[in-house]
Amino acid sequence: MNLSANRLTIFGLGYVGLPLALIYAVKGYPVYGVDISAELVRDLRAGITGHLESYRGRPIRDVLGECLSSGSFIPTSHPDQVWAASSNFIVTVGMPVKGDRPDFAPLERVCRTISRGLKKGDTVMIRSTVVPGTTEEIVLPILENSGLKGGEDFSLIYCPERISEGKAFDELENIPVLISGIDQRSMEQGTKIIKMISRVDPVPVSRIKTAETAKVVENIQRDVNIALMQQVSEFCAKLGIDVCELMKGANTHPRVHLLQPGPGVGGYCIPNALHYLAPKASETGTDISLLTLSRQINREVPKKIAGKIKLYFRDKRQSGTPSKLAVLGIAMKDYCSDDRDSPIVHIIEDLTGSGMVVSAYDNWVGTNYPFQEKDLHLCLLKADGLLIGALQRDVNYQQFKLFKSLMRENPVIFDTKGVINKSEAEKYGFEVIDL
């Protein structure tokens, strides 16, 4: 395999696919990026992306612009143009969950597209998180509809991504990934592709199904850990204990790694993980009630927080006008632009559905919500309360003098992140409530 002799093609240019395509491109391996969204492709060709990534100090927009100018990255929504120039195909298209059931359609559609152009000697690598068994039971048969035989005529690899949004480039280079293939040649081909961008060797796994399950379990263990800490946090609040201090102390133990509780668990990866495991658990009659309970606990957190806010204003604010709540940060987690399944958005929707006025500030999230305000001052103006949601780097959360000058009398801060200097805020007349 000579990657320098032809372009890699990456299918899916989202939060995984775009950084992956660009890191190959900056390392000297030309890339086609294919995405079904013509609008996304137009934006990328114009050098526009809302991703909050940086590569060795350079913002992703700069990296994108350089790769476009050099021709090392070509985004397209027309896959038929890539077949002749490419023999290595990487799939990053996700598996959405609808009604708690995984939707195989996007992955199946991409595999059917690849099967139309698949040639002898080609390599296909799946980097998506999938239901265990998907690569061999669904992907392989679709690719073999090309008339070619997997393991004889083409290589097939499963190598799940492990990146966190905001750290994608660094983690693509420095975190070891699991890799498995349908035969030894596939493993060798896949290892070469990974080592083109990674400083560390991939971790070989004997069976594809093992690698698929390991990736799902990696996500589920975080769901379970956070659910544990959500309940510990409630216990601490009733006992008058600082949960952040508790975590800091407990995590000094070398075999303890507690994750921080918060307003809920959002995004694409962790909330979906249980639903990738559930079909096979049902098929095999395996009890996964602990995992199901953990997902339920985390899913209910936004509703609980909204309930506490509504109760506060009902008890404390007896005026006839609806209370106004300002919200800082609506992304699904700190320091990112992704708002998929954002717990903060769920909280806001619950509050507005109950008649509360909500104004939210987050200039990194591209979705245009009716409650969104592009100006921080207008967001805070005449607000009765302030909810600290997802953290963003362009906000100073300790500027209490500014907050107080814009908000109404006797304001309250609801802190879901433990970032507010409570004693300092109280000097300016704020009541601070940890959620």
The catalytic site residues sit at 269
Cα dihedral 209, 214, 219, 222, rounded to 10, equals 150
Strand order in the sheet with 203-204: 73-76, 31-34, 7-11, 86-91, 123-126, 155-158, 178-181, 203-204
Cβ atoms of 97 and 103 within 8 Å: the answer is: yes
Exposed e or buried b per residue across 309-341, where buried means at least 16 C-beta atoms within 10 angstroms of its C-beta: bbebbeeebeeeebbbbbbbbbbbbbbbbbbbb
Write the CA distances from 342 to 56, 108, 220, 226, integer angstroms: 28, 27, 18, 16
Beta bridge partners of 123: 88, 155
Give the residue carrying structure tokens 């595999």.
Answer: 111
Take residue 274 and report the two structure tokens written for it: 């249980």
> What is the 8-class DSSP label of residue 194?
H
> What is the 8-class DSSP label of residue 322?
P
Nearest to 198 by CA among 129, 150, 127: 127
Number of Cβ within a 10 Å radius of residue 279 = 14
Give kind and range of the element (H or E) at residue 388.
Answer: strand 385-388
User: Which residue type, as a one-letter code, is found at position 284?
Assistant: T
Positive/negative CA dihedral, 123, 129, 133, 134: negative
Count CA within 13 A, CB hemisphere, residue 234.
Answer: 12
Alpha-carbon distance 388 to 263, whole Å?
A: 10
157 Cβ neighbours under 8 A, 6+ residues apart: 123, 124, 125, 126, 179, 180, 181, 182, 186, 187, 189, 190, 193
For the chain, how many residues are written? Answer: 435
